Structure 1
Amino acid sequence: MTTALGGILRALSDASGRVLVEYRGRRFTGADLLTRIEARAADLRQAGLGAGQTVLIVVSDNLAAIEQMIACWMNGSCGHFVDFRSPPARIAEWRARLSPSLVVGLRAMTGGDVRIQPRDPAATDGFLPVEADPSSRALHLASSGTTGLPTLTDVTQARLAEVLQHSAVELHRDPRGATLSSVSVAFSASAYLWLRHLLVGQPILALDLVHRIEELDTALQRADVVECSLPPGAIRRLLALPSDRVPRYPQLVRFSTVGGPARPEDKVAAVTRLSPVFAMTYSCAGVGLVSRIRGAEILERPSSCGRPALPVVVEIRDGDRRCGPGEVGEVVISTDRVTGHRPGDLGWLDAGGYLHLTGRVQGLLSRKGVNFSAERIVSACLSLPQVIDAGVAVLDGADGDDEAHLVVQAARDRGDSLAGILARHLRQTLPVTEQPDAIHIWSDLPLTPAGKIDQRALCDKVRKKRDDREQH
């Protein structure tokens, strides 16, 4: 396989009579998907798309978005996924950075014109795909952008084919069932999952991107679902569901959290109550898998995200100084392809070589000359059962110290008294210098496609509320 496009088209043709995707009660065979992709490719060509151009793909439906990406490749162009829930300012950034020839999707998107495509495209006769050049750009791989402007890495057709083949060998030695997909393909790990599964012919059960936790739970209990990766927030919500069955998902072969570190207590509970195969995966854009810890290892080292996976080398640095075991510093990652990559995480290595993450570099606060991580406030907050999720917006204070605004998503009917409960709890668990300057109770927190709290959007919203209040 020299190109990702060639490999996937051959795989779909080989699986012409087999169901590869189930979505909204419908089943799509390889032949169905080929027909739909060709129809989308014809629509893009009719709209003037040509080789070497870029398409911004609005993701409100993973199946349609993946079809649109492959349709771009069939026209010799590349695509970039953007989640339909992204704030207008973020969408404007992508348009300015990528200068797309087209913006396509199933629905309108704030901040720009979108060429609306049908959910079920009509079959097209006589479409001839462009032969993909192995050196041509297949997609723009973006970092999460939780704390700053996302970094972009161009991935060629040849490189994408290589990555998909490697991961297919590693992860699909025993494909005995379907993989559950519930995370937007605007998150690169989810996009890779879809492309990899289409390549190897392993079925995907897709949920709507906006779904209730009960729907996710029901899907995870299906006997034919053997694999799923979820953000830490979803794991925490599953653990909050009442259950008299342990483990809750005994049929799972692979079950992991991606998109950020889970709390140690959540990881332990996931292993003991949800599935004994539960794993935490630490990865980053441009590098891929960094480390993984699973099952019994989690019970032994609940705060760790595992040992770096060869050929990955992780160093902890404080400026130019390399930190020793137990010292907290910035995580620096090197592989046979990447040297000195800094994903923006803080952490430490123990004597056994296990990596422990403690927060984000840009999540550090400084007060009266004392530095500490905003994650300490979040962790203390999440220990309360009334809290669904929490984040800290770090703003510049008038006296030169950082302001910490704690923003909490509360369980239903618990918001009125929660601010007082939180304030008392934090006074009992954190030193004076780490107390938040303000506590905000919101019904929802802004999230990235990976399910992480969108720190930029959070800070922008809190800053606007603070400025509006000061003006009045």
Structure 2
Amino acid sequence: MSSSGLNIGQKILDVARTQPDAVAVEWEGQTYTRSDVLAAAANLGAFFQQADINPNQAVAVISANPLRGIEAMMALWSQGSPTLFLDPRQPLKDICGSLERAEVDIAFSDIKSLTRSEIIHALPDRNSRSAAENPLDFSKVPSDGDALVLSTSGTTDLPRFRRVTHEAFLDGVATSEQILNQLSPRPAVIVGSLAFGAILMHWIRMMIHGKFILALPLFFRTKELHESLSRTDIAAVGLPPVLIRDLLQFHEGRDVQNSGPAYPHIERMASVGGPIPSSDLVKAYQTLTQGVSNLYSLAGVGPVSRLARDEILHKPNSVGKPLATMQVDIRTSDGQQCAPGHTGNIVVTPLWKDNPAPVETGDIGWLDEDGYLFIAGRSQQVATRQSVNINLLELENDVKALDGVRDCIAFATVDPKSADDVVFLAVETALTLPELSQAIRKSVASYRRPDKIMVKEMLPRNASNKIALGKLQTTALQKESPFDEFR
């Protein structure tokens, strides 16, 4: 799975030169050809050369416009600097904290409110008249040089921020393509922040293969997503579960029997960035496209399993059979192998790596007799109250099944006055607190109900579009907590 000794920028450049006038990206109603992107990146390259950035000095980019972010990344690559993308939805305090932890001391942004600070410099406007005298040149960029600084949640024991070389990144892309048997991407809608590794990988992979990207902004209406997916020149999309749920609500009442799925031309609709309720997955298969799939993957490991096609109807609660290059074991807390159907810690060994070593995923689940993998939740998602174990993922799924609930998250903290956990539930819904509480009392088993509850129309989210658990945990412990007693 060799990357042929090239750097990422050179591979993008080589493909772009084959058809320089082909449309590469559509953003906010404007189309940009491959040569447009290269020229804008070259202009940024000239700008960065005047910014006293040393070779191999990591630079952070915080961009609301993903195309501008990609152009900045290519410009930085041309002078040997790796790029760290940070989520522009973060407050300045969180951005500064990430810069410190990543040991990055220079950052650029196209967001005026951020560039008022001393630490973040302004990216020139894309329509700036300054033009580069020379085109992008990647000929002196070594394949073993650092390309990116990637962030992870740390659940697989990877460092919070880690540098990745051009060669390692390209090998990772090639490996994923072979594991999933998807050697060439399809023209795609891309939704989300470049700070989320899966989104960044998708952008780079599309540009390496010279495929068309229809990019949506970070904030959009469901109707805009629907219109984008309705275009027949689009064949693929990766969506977090909450956006799949939004589409299902948008198409609620659709006569699938006579009209068929809403997007029959979409060959690949992957649910990424967190677990999707089985009921939503089945509805997506029936209502949106039969190309929908549920992908289970891990940072530093890659795709582990996938549930697709008719498997969705037969095993909707599963994340599919482990892929051929992955060994999945279910182990007890003392390392013993669990029999089929018995729940334990999920341990993954990526067989495609040289000298592969088992990886503790932090997830708990089981393999059934047919070899399908099921995830019961995170090991931290089990709370104990009055000597009864409470699976918080099951609580979340129960609440997500209620009418009017868009998304939710549950977590627990230890009650300092007892040995019990205190269960918190944050719900994204237009329902009032009394309405939601009544629905929970009717539908959720009494032992599983939360102790504290917060209801908001919009909850804070991170780069992967998941609800920002860390922020909610912090606010839950504040003296003036937004969580109410569940009654």
* TM-score when normalising by structure 1: 0.91
Distance 1:377 1:287, change over 3 A: same
% identity of equivalent residues: 30
Shift of 1:15: 2.8
Letter in 1 for 2:336: R
**1:41-72: CA deviation from partner (whole Å, max 9, x where unpaired):** 22222111121111111132211111122222
In the alignment, structure 1 residue 125 sits paired with structure 2 residue 143:
no
Structure 1 residue aligned with 2:383, among 362, 365, 368?
A: 365
In the alignment, structure 1 residue 137 sits paired with structure 2 residue 146:
yes
Distance 1:439 1:450, change over 3 A: same
Distance 1:71 1:212, change over 3 A: same
**1:395-439: CA deviation from partner (whole Å, max 9, x where unpaired):** 22132321111111113xx325323323423xx53242x221022
Q: Distance in 2 between matches of 1:109 and 1:324?
A: 53
Partner residue in 2 for 1:324? 339
Structure 2 residue aligned with 1:114, among 108, 117, 120?
A: 120
Is the 8 Å Cα contact of residues 382 and 391 (structure 2) preserved in structure 1?
yes
- Give 1:7-406 correspondences, 5 Å limit: 7-88=11-92, 90-107=94-111, 108-109=113-114, 113-120=119-126, 121=128, 122-126=130-134, 129=137, 131-144=140-153, 151-167=160-176, 178-242=187-251, 243-244=254-255, 245-319=259-333, 320-336=335-351, 337=353, 338-398=356-416, 399-406=418-425
SS of 2:59's equivalent in the other structure is strand
Distance 1:174 1:47, change over 3 A: closer
Is the 8 Å Cα contact of residues 54 and 98 (structure 1) preserved in structure 2?
no
Letter in 2 for 1:290: V
Aligned residues: 464
SS of 1:83's equivalent in the other structure is coil
For structure 1, list consecutive stretches of 5 or more residues without a partner in the other structure.
none
Q: Higher mean Cα deviation, 155-164 or 117-126?
A: 117-126
Shift of 1:469: 9.0
CA RMSD after TM alignment: 2.5
Q: Distance in 2 between matches of 1:69 and 1:216?
A: 26
Letter in 1 for 2:392: A
Q: Distance in 1 between matches of 2:449 and 2:433?
A: 20
Q: Distance in 2 between matches of 1:41 and 1:369?
A: 61
Shift of 1:455: 1.2
Q: Distance in 1 between matches of 2:453 and 2:482?
A: 17
Q: Distance in 2 between matches of 1:369 and 1:408?
A: 26
**1:280-307: CA deviation from partner (whole Å, max 9, x where unpaired):** 1111111111111112011000001111
**1:191-246: CA deviation from partner (whole Å, max 9, x where unpaired):** 11110110111100011111111111111111111100100000011101133443
Shift of 1:148: 11
Partner residue in 2 for 1:415? 432
**1:144-203: CA deviation from partner (whole Å, max 9, x where unpaired):** 46999973343211112223345567666566x620011212111111111011011110
Distance 1:378 1:274, change over 3 A: same
Distance 1:419 1:273, change over 3 A: closer
Shift of 1:109: 3.4
Q: Distance in 2 between matches of 1:118 and 1:343?
A: 42
In the alignment, structure 1 residue 445 sits paired with structure 2 residue 465:
no
Is the 8 Å Cα contact of residues 396 and 408 (structure 2) preserved in structure 1?
yes
Letter in 1 for 2:436: A
Letter in 1 for 2:134: G
Is the 8 Å Cα contact of residues 45 and 132 (structure 2) preserved in structure 1?
no
Is the 8 Å Cα contact of residues 9 and 77 (structure 2) preserved in structure 1?
yes
Letter in 2 for 1:258: V
Partner residue in 2 for 1:430? 445
Q: Distance in 2 between matches of 1:39 and 1:417?
A: 56
Shift of 1:442: 1.1
Is the 8 Å Cα contact of residues 99 and 105 (structure 2) preserved in structure 1?
no
Q: Distance in 2 between matches of 1:468 and 1:255?
A: 36
SS of 2:107's equivalent in the other structure is strand
Shift of 1:141: 2.6
Q: Higher mean Cα deviation, 185-194 or 159-168?
A: 159-168
Q: Distance in 1 between matches of 2:35 and 2:157?
A: 42
Partner residue in 2 for 1:5? 9
Letter in 2 for 1:407: A
Shift of 1:347: 1.6
Q: Higher mean Cα deviation, 339-348 or 64-73?
A: 339-348
Q: Distance in 2 between matches of 1:252 and 1:29?
A: 24
Distance 1:370 1:45, change over 3 A: farther
SS of 2:235's equivalent in the other structure is strand
Is the 8 Å Cα contact of residues 146 and 453 (structure 1) preserved in structure 2?
no
Letter in 2 for 1:224: D
